[in-house]
Structure 1
């Protein structure tokens, strides 16, 4: 287990040159975003446990390519609203936030790009509001339509005697008690443990399962940070969660059953807009969801291309920024050739 860490003395420069921070009103509160460039709107949605900052490499690249690149803090994160009730973080609320952001920016439609939970949010946004979200790029987590048994029932059977991390996150306060006494150390271990260049060897136990009476961080690797994560980057992420706490972020996991009920009308529904998938070959998400990738011809009939990056872990747009920027830009240019 990593020892508690302290911030570096130098404060990070968190905003790419030329990008601007904004707060916009949406029906559920306010959303903080960072935008750069002009042209067709590309809305980028982060996952857990991150922020708009996970798109810091994509903002200037997409702006330079002729797009209005916008990265949000998902509700519960950063400077965005943090409503108190667990149910305020259901998928329908996140979709409504994205619709509200598009309207607040004076736009009628957007291409949406998501990573990790942001991939699920992007897919749901495109599924429920195809009139607004005309294409979707999904990073790390493949699209899987609503279906099957109630999610918490399914998760309870994963891992045998050990507890799957999504189940571990279900009880309010439980994961917070592990994370918040040492936010920076916990984040360092979590990021490191599923990065391509620092993922633990097979046989050391999965990071995503908790032994009886244990904690998730018990299996975090110690040692160097992954190459994509500087001390200043870690300072930024830790600073955000030190200020906001982690409950809003964790509440996304606590709505999986509610989402399953809310989206019953879309059971098995394919995502028909033009789409893109980018994943890391060393990302455990691809192993768990290999069936979802195999089902892309049915579930993503508009899939333009799928890219599995060798040697890459979970944090694809940060681990392989240049490669992801090139893939995204080429896909966008093919979608919008007359912009």
Structure 2
């Protein structure tokens, strides 16, 4: 059963807006005034994964904006544009459409992949980046080539290359989304209570919004299939340069998808200030599993930015 996109417009201490950017319409949830901090989600989530950070950042004097990436939530779901170069252009255009010249870009999972890429692909709008639960794209590629452990950890993406079947599994009854959340999270997350069940329901429901499951798979299909193609070579060449802006890199010690050694190897691509924090007993879904720690680390880091 499909779900209308309005189902992802959860109420809270934020305002929902729709902005036109890079030829598409994007949904954002916004709170506060001040320097912009743009928050990008990962799979299988949407903007709501930042529900703890939005009000905290706003209260601290920042304009916090959580965005539904292309193909997710209440944003447009065009048939193309799921390559990282286009996604980074989306983010930059949203920043400008919201009237800002620059933003700190924080991202989790795929959002973190885009955040890592922003200094190279969209330097004029990128003040600093805070990737979470992801390695720099070239550090990840290097680990997949050289590490049997990381290849095994990344094997879950292989079924996503199949046509149609992953989409059907993701939208059938919510069971696969729930397994992904539990399999990637640390012990006891999502919690076995009403709050945990709300998390499971919210993301299973969001995946049933028409075309979301297909769009989500297109991220994985592009990153695998583009490896031998010209567009993949262009992307790797573009991000093969030192990241000069400040980087806050957060990672769960129990992340089963991106191993800690892989995440730490990202430091070789950071030429500017780089801070790495490993969160003990936390899995892949860092902003939700450790919301207080993530918020505190973000605020301390933001306060010290030039």
Q: Which residue of 2 aligns with 1:207?
A: none
Per-residue CA shift, 1:268-305, capped at 9, x if unaligned? 32212100111111102342x62451351x21122432
Q: TM-score, normalised by structure 2?
A: 0.86
Tell me the CA shift for residue 147 of structure 1.
Answer: 9.0
Aligned pair count reads 291
Q: What are structure 2's unaligned runs of at least 5 residues?
A: 1-6
- Between 123-132 and 42-51, report the one with greater CA deviation: 123-132
Q: Which residue of 1 aligns with 2:170?
A: 179
* Correspondent of 1:63 among 58, 61, 78: 58
Query: Structure 2 CA distance, aligned partners of 1:196 and 1:38?
Result: 34
1:102 aligns with 2:95: yes
Query: Structure 2 CA distance, aligned partners of 1:65 and 1:238?
Result: 32
SS at match of 2:207: helix
Q: What are structure 1's unaligned runs of at least 5 residues?
A: 1-10, 200-223
Query: Structure 1 CA distance, aligned partners of 2:237 and 2:54?
Result: 35
1:197 aligns with 2:168: no
Contact 2:140 2:262 in 1 (8 A): no
Q: Which residue of 2 aligns with 1:239?
A: 205
SS at match of 2:124: coil
Rate the CA distance shift 1:91–1:295 in 2: closer, same or farther, 3 A: closer
Contact 2:19 2:25 in 1 (8 A): yes
SS at match of 2:134: coil
CA RMSD of aligned residues (A): 2.8
Contact 1:279 1:314 in 2 (8 A): yes
1:50 aligns with 2:45: yes
How do 1:317-336 residues align onto structure 2 when only pairs under 5 Å count? 317-336=287-306
Tell me the CA shift for residue 128 of structure 1.
Answer: 1.2
Greater Rg over alpha carbons, structure:
1
Q: Which residue of 1 aligns with 2:252?
A: 280
Contact 1:144 1:292 in 2 (8 A): no
